[in-house]
Amino acid sequence: MNLTVTFKRSGRTVAWTEAESLLAFAEHNGVDAPFSCGAGVCGTCAAALLAGDVTYVEDPLYLPDPGVVLLCCTTPKTSVVLDL
Protein backbone atom coordinates (compact mmCIF):
# COMPACT_ATOMS: atom_id res chain seq x y z
CA MET A 1 0.00 0.00 0.00
CA ASN A 2 1.58 3.26 -1.09
CA LEU A 3 0.59 6.11 1.18
CA THR A 4 1.42 9.74 0.71
CA VAL A 5 1.71 12.59 3.15
CA THR A 6 0.84 16.05 1.86
CA PHE A 7 2.16 19.07 3.71
CA LYS A 8 -0.35 21.60 2.41
CA ARG A 9 1.26 24.82 3.56
CA SER A 10 4.68 23.68 2.35
CA GLY A 11 3.10 22.60 -0.93
CA ARG A 12 4.75 19.16 -0.88
CA THR A 13 3.52 15.59 -1.22
CA VAL A 14 5.90 12.84 -0.12
CA ALA A 15 5.58 9.05 -0.23
CA TRP A 16 5.26 7.70 3.34
CA THR A 17 8.23 5.66 4.44
CA GLU A 18 8.35 3.94 7.81
CA ALA A 19 8.96 6.46 10.60
CA GLU A 20 8.19 6.44 14.29
CA SER A 21 5.55 9.15 13.85
CA LEU A 22 4.27 11.83 11.50
CA LEU A 23 6.33 14.29 13.55
CA ALA A 24 9.54 12.37 12.86
CA PHE A 25 8.54 11.97 9.20
CA ALA A 26 7.96 15.73 8.83
CA GLU A 27 11.36 16.43 10.39
CA HIS A 28 13.11 13.94 8.07
CA ASN A 29 11.55 15.78 5.16
CA GLY A 30 12.61 19.20 6.32
CA VAL A 31 9.10 20.31 7.30
CA ASP A 32 9.18 22.33 10.46
CA ALA A 33 6.61 21.13 12.99
CA PRO A 34 6.43 22.48 16.55
CA PHE A 35 6.87 19.94 19.34
CA SER A 36 7.86 19.71 22.99
CA CYS A 37 7.31 16.40 24.79
CA GLY A 38 7.18 14.02 21.83
CA ALA A 39 4.96 11.73 23.91
CA GLY A 40 1.38 12.94 23.60
CA VAL A 41 1.52 14.93 26.81
CA CYS A 42 1.76 18.59 25.90
CA GLY A 43 -0.27 19.07 22.72
CA THR A 44 2.34 21.33 21.12
CA CYS A 45 2.47 19.23 17.94
CA ALA A 46 -1.30 19.36 17.29
CA ALA A 47 -1.99 19.91 13.57
CA ALA A 48 -5.15 20.03 11.48
CA LEU A 49 -5.81 16.86 9.47
CA LEU A 50 -7.40 18.13 6.25
CA ALA A 51 -7.92 14.71 4.65
CA GLY A 52 -7.28 11.07 5.41
CA ASP A 53 -6.99 9.13 8.65
CA VAL A 54 -4.28 8.31 11.17
CA THR A 55 -3.46 5.59 13.70
CA TYR A 56 -2.40 6.46 17.24
CA VAL A 57 0.76 4.47 17.92
CA GLU A 58 1.08 5.91 21.41
CA ASP A 59 -1.80 6.79 23.75
CA PRO A 60 -1.81 10.53 24.27
CA LEU A 61 -2.79 12.06 27.59
CA TYR A 62 -5.66 13.87 25.88
CA LEU A 63 -7.31 13.25 22.55
CA PRO A 64 -7.33 16.44 20.48
CA ASP A 65 -10.47 17.99 19.03
CA PRO A 66 -12.00 16.34 15.94
CA GLY A 67 -10.04 17.20 12.81
CA VAL A 68 -6.83 17.71 14.78
CA VAL A 69 -4.09 15.11 15.30
CA LEU A 70 -1.05 14.89 17.53
CA LEU A 71 1.83 14.38 15.11
CA CYS A 72 4.13 12.82 17.72
CA CYS A 73 1.74 9.92 18.44
CA THR A 74 0.39 9.08 14.98
CA THR A 75 1.23 7.40 11.70
CA PRO A 76 -0.93 7.52 8.55
CA LYS A 77 -3.68 4.92 8.16
CA THR A 78 -4.54 6.29 4.69
CA SER A 79 -2.87 8.98 2.65
CA VAL A 80 -3.17 12.21 4.63
CA VAL A 81 -3.18 15.95 4.05
CA LEU A 82 -1.80 17.99 6.93
CA ASP A 83 -2.07 21.72 7.51
CA LEU A 84 1.69 22.09 7.81
Partner 1 sequence: MTRIESGSESPAFLKNAWYVAAWDNEIGHALTAVTLLNESIVMYRDSAGKAVALENACPHRKLPLSMGRLKGDDVECGYHGLTFNPQGACTRAPGGQRIPKAACVHSYPVEERYGLIWIWMGEAAKADPSKIMNVDHWGDPAWGLNRGDAMTVEANYLYITDNLLDPSHVAWVHQTSFGNAACADSVPDMTAADNGVIVSRWMRDTEPAPFYQPFLKFQGNCDRKQHYEVRYPSHAIIKAIFVPAGTGGDDKPLHKDVFLMDSYNFLTPITENLTRYYWFQMRNFAPNDRAVSAAFATSVRTAFEEDKTILQAVHRGMNNKKSGNIDLKIDKGPLHFRKRLAQMIAAE
Q: How far is the CB of 82 from partner 1 (least distance, A)?
A: 17
How far is 52 from 34, CA to CA, in rounded Å? Answer: 21
Which of 65, 75, 58 has the alpha carbon at shortest distance from 17? 75
Using the minimum distance from each CB to partner 1, give the nearer residue, 78 or 83: 83
**CA 84-10-79 angle, 5° bins:** 65
36 makes contact with partner 1 (CB under 8 A): yes
13 makes contact with partner 1 (CB under 8 A): no
* Piece of the chain touching partner 1 by CB under 8 A; list 5-13, 25-33, 48-56, 60-68: 60-68
